[in-house]
Amino acid sequence: MLIYEKDNKLIIENVKSFNITHIFDCGQCFRWNKEDDGSYTGVVKNKVINILQNNSTIIFDKINYDDYETLIRNYFDMDTDYDNIKNQINVDEVINKSIEFGQGIRILNQDEWETMISFMISANNRIPMIKKVIENLSMSFGDYICNYKGRDYYAFPSAEQLCKAPLEKIQQCKAGFRSERIKEAAQRALYEKDIIYNLKNKTYDEGLEYLKTYKGIGDKVANCILLFSMKQFDTFPVDVWVRRIMQTLYVGENTSDKDIRIFAENKFGKFSGYAQQYLFYYARENGIGR
DNA sequence: TCCCAGGTCCTGA
DNA sequence: TCAGGACATGGG
């Protein structure tokens, strides 16, 4: 991997296991959108990031090496050995095919608070709608960042900002029945921010137990939060898509979500979360079980 | 009109 | 512990 700055861009050559379509379309994040030139633009913390890929070269617009060290490197999971992970979870033909199909997937290290609220919104919702609600919340309550390629960008609102927001205004963001849950979570997070940001240093069970004390966070959402923002990679969140592919290709049709999760965690081991992402992407892109 | 979406909560056995 | 319905919203 070769990293250098050129013309106000940061360029990384010879990246392996990195495909921006796989990364942004595998359902782990909701704030990235494709541009006409094939690049993706998104918001990470308080920064707008645009990323373009040509084969094994990735180009970040208006990013310098400092930004790479403080933000990009961790967010894009650049220090993880994906070959090793793929080898460890590649235990049969189904997962082998899925890994091949989504070879460029990476599990992003996202902000804990943003991930909590985002997956709270995901309950009984569609991905385009989830993205719209998050965008509405950011535009209504988040800090303005800048204009990029003709579009205004806003940071995801903090707990403080959502706490001040009247319930009706949250409802106007089309959050539906999740509006009160968001408001309640913000009120709690205001005083428990340290706990939330320290969960990655706790055990999986402690994290799960804590997250589920929030209204609107059940088993599935809690596991997504743990996987996508708290580095708990041994968990296997079961949603409709994962249920479909697992029931079709591994276990019986009437197997419960909990049993599917236990089956998968035993099968794929400490990197079950990565296996879940490959399977999710494969199932969704190929309509498995529909 | 009905069905469903990266589910959770509540209720009643 | 577990099944079944309600829940906002919008697209097919």
CATH number of the domain encompassing residue A35: 3.30.310.260
Cα dihedral sign for A251, A257, A261, A263? negative
User: In strand B, which positions have an atom below 7 A from any protein CB?
Assistant: 4-10
Name the domain boundary from A202, A229, A256: A229
Q: What's residue A289's pLDDT? A: 67
Which mean pLDDT values do the consecutive 10-residue runs of chain A (290 residues) have?
97 98 95 97 97 98 96 98 98 96 97 98 97 98 97 98 98 98 98 98 97 97 98 93 90 87 94 96 84
pTM score, two decimals? 0.97
In the numeric block, the tokens 């340290």 are attached to A194
CA of A184 to C1' of C4 (A): 27
Residues 175-234 of A with CB under 7 A from strand B: 177, 212, 214-222, 224
Q: Is the CB of A287 under 7 A from strand B?
A: no
What is the DSSP-derived secondary structure letter of residue A158?
P
- Side chain identity, residue A2: L
Residue A55 tokens read as 């084969």
Could you tell me the CATH number of the domain that includes residue A264? 1.10.1670.10
Q: What's residue A252's pLDDT? A: 84
Nucleotide nearest to A227 (CA to C1'): B6
Q: Is the CB of A219 under 7 A from strand C?
A: no
Q: Let me know: does A178 contact A123? Beta carbons within 8 Å.
A: yes
What is the number of residues in chain A? 290
Give strand pairing partners of A51: A40, A60
Q: What share of chain A is helix, strand, coil (3-state, %, to 5)?
A: 55, 15, 35
Q: Which domain holds residue A155?
A: 112-229
Q: Can you tell me the distance from the alpha carbon of A22 to that of A102, in angstroms, rounded to the nearest whole number?
A: 6
Same domain as A165, residue A93: no
Nucleotide nearest to A277 (CA to C1'): B6
Please count the structural domains in chain A.
3
Same domain as A263, residue A241: yes
Residue A4 tokens read as 């250098």
Same domain as A16, residue A28: yes
Q: Let me know: does A141 contact A61? Beta carbons within 8 Å.
A: no
Q: Can you tell me the distance from the alpha carbon of A207 to that of A91, in angstroms, rounded to the nearest whole number?
A: 28
Residues 159-198 of A with CB under 7 A from strand C: 171, 174, 176-177
Q: What's residue A253's pLDDT? A: 83
Residue A270 tokens read as 């400490």
